[in-house]
């Protein structure tokens, strides 16, 4: 592991930590310097296997991972990570890796950025996902108890937004921040068809641009997770050409 983070200071405990995973040390150093200049702490890893253990043992606030790496590539890293953690993950991909991007989203990545990329874009994506993560956990502006969002009960589904907790038939289902926000948008109005654009608005800030494939990949991932606890799960319905809805039954 390579760690370019500055020596810890007392104020560091309040800084959000970003893990960077890439076998290109130049990218690690450059991105780390840029993130530290924006007030983040960084942890740097040059291979997926080392990173996986560290991400599980001492989770950061978010991870930025390259797909092509030695020992364990980013896709395998994400697959193993998702077995135990909903840590937000942004993938770095090359222009010729579109199938990998789609697979990464299907496995539970929160976003992806194509190389070469600007530091400004990466930081905007990081901040957007961290804000969403804080909102889901109810950590923004310490709202009063009366302002806390109510739990959402829809048939066998129970969503607890402040705790980012989801159960189906009383069995826990682990979702990423993006998956949680998409499901919440659907479950709030059962039977109402939500277009892909509406789901994008619910799950992404204005400064993050995604396409239809991104939403479709998240929906497939959601269905797969619920079917792991209920093989007959069919509450997320597709209306081809229009969008998705949640069946409250």
Give strand ranges (E) for 72-156. Answer: 89-93, 111-114, 152-154
Quote the pLDDT of residue 93: 80
Whether residue 19 is found in the same domain as residue 122 = yes
Q: Mean pLDDT over residues 64-87, rounded?
A: 89
Do 124 and 16 reside in the same domain of the chain? yes
Q: What is the pLDDT of residues 9-18, one digit of tens each?
A: 334 457 899 9
Q: Does residue 204 sit in the same domain as residue 116? A: no
Same domain? 178 vs 241? yes
Residue 109 lies in a domain: yes
Does residue 49 contact residue 26 with C-beta atoms inside 8 Å?
no
Which of 85, 33, 87, 41 has the alpha carbon at shortest distance from 65? 87
How far, in whole angstroms, is CA 101 from its chain's centroid? Answer: 14
List helix spans (H) across 38-175. Answer: 48-57, 74-82, 98-107, 119-137
* pLDDT attached to residue 249: 62
205 lies in the same domain as 117 = no
Instruction: Give residue 138's pLDDT band: very low, low, confident or very high (50, 70, 90).
Output: low
2 within some domain: no
What's the domain count of the chain?
Answer: 2
Q: Are 88 and 127 in contact (CB under 8 A)?
A: no
Do both 121 and 151 map to the same domain? no
Range 52-73 average pLDDT: 92
Say if 232 falls within a structural domain.
Answer: yes
Give the mean pLDDT of 107-132: 82
Domain CATH for 107? 3.40.50.2300
Using 50, 70 and 90 to split pLDDT, how confident is the model at 241? confident
Find the mean pLDDT for residues 88-117: 75
Domain that residue 42 falls in = 10-137
Average pLDDT over residues 161-190: 86
CATH number of 175's domain: 1.10.10.10
233 and 126 inside one domain? no
What is the rounded average pLDDT of the residues 168-190? 88
Place 101 in a pLDDT band, splitting at 50, 70 and 90: low
As given in the structure block, the two tokens for residue 129 are: 């996902």
Rounded-to-integer distance, Cα 69 and Cα 47, Å: 6
pLDDT digits (tens, 9 = 90+) for 200-223: 888 765 555 556 677 888 898 899
Q: How far apart are CA 99 and CA 234, in angstroms?
A: 26
Residue indicated by tokens 């890293």: 77
pTM exceeds 0.95 for this model:
no
Please say which residue of 98, 116, 137 terminates a domain: 137
Q: Answer with the residue of higher pLDDT: 19 or 94.
A: 19
Pairing assessment for the beta strands 62-66 and 89-93 based on DSSP bridges: parallel
Residue 147 reports pLDDT greater than 70:
no
Residues 103 and 161 grouped into a single domain: no
Which of the residue ranges 27-31, 48-52, 124-128 would you say has the lowest mean pLDDT? 124-128
3-state SS assignment for residue 4: coil
Least confident of 11-20, 26-35, 188-197: 11-20
| Alpha carbon distance 29, 191 (integer Å) | 49
pLDDT mean over 162-171 = 86
Closest CA to 133 of 92, 89, 173: 89
- 132 assigned to some structural domain: yes
Whether residue 101 is found in the same domain as residue 166: no
- Same domain, residue pair 193 and 113: no
- Same-domain check for residues 165 and 182: yes
Residue found by looking up tokens 């068809």 in the block: 193
Same domain as 162, residue 132: no
Q: Is the pLDDT of residue 42 over 70?
A: yes
Distance CA 18, CA 51 (A): 12
């Amino acid at each position: 592991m390579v760690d370019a983070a500055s020596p810890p200071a007392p104020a560091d405990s309040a800084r959000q930590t970003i893990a960077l995973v890439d076998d290109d040390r130049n990218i690690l150093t450059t991105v780390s310097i840029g993130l530290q200049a924006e007030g983040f702490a960084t942890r740097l890893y040059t291979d997926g296997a080392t990173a996986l253990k560290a991400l599980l043992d001492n989770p950061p606030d978010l991870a930025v991972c390259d797909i092509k790496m030695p020992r364990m590539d980013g896709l395998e890293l994400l697959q193993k990570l998702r077995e135990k953690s909903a840590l937000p993950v942004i993938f770095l991909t090359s222009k010729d890796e579109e199938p990998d991007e789609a697979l990464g989203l299907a496995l539970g990545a929160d976003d992806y950025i194509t190389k070469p990329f600007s530091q400004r874009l990466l930081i905007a994506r990081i901040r957007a996902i961290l804000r969403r993560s804080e909102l889901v956990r109810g950590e923004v502006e310490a709202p009063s108890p009366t302002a806390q969002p109510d739990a959402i009960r829809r048939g066998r589904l129970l969503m607890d937004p402040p705790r980012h907790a989801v159960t189906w038939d009383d069995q826990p289902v682990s979702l990423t921040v993006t998956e949680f926000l998409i499901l919440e948008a659907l479950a709030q109005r059962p039977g109402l068809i939500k277009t892909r654009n509406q789901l994008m608005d619910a799950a992404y800030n204005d400064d993050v641009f995604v396409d239809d494939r991104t939403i479709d990949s998240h929906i497939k991932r959601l269905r797969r997770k619920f079917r792991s606890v209920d093989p007959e799960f069919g509450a997320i319905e597709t209306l081809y050409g229009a969008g998705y809805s949640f069946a409250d039954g």
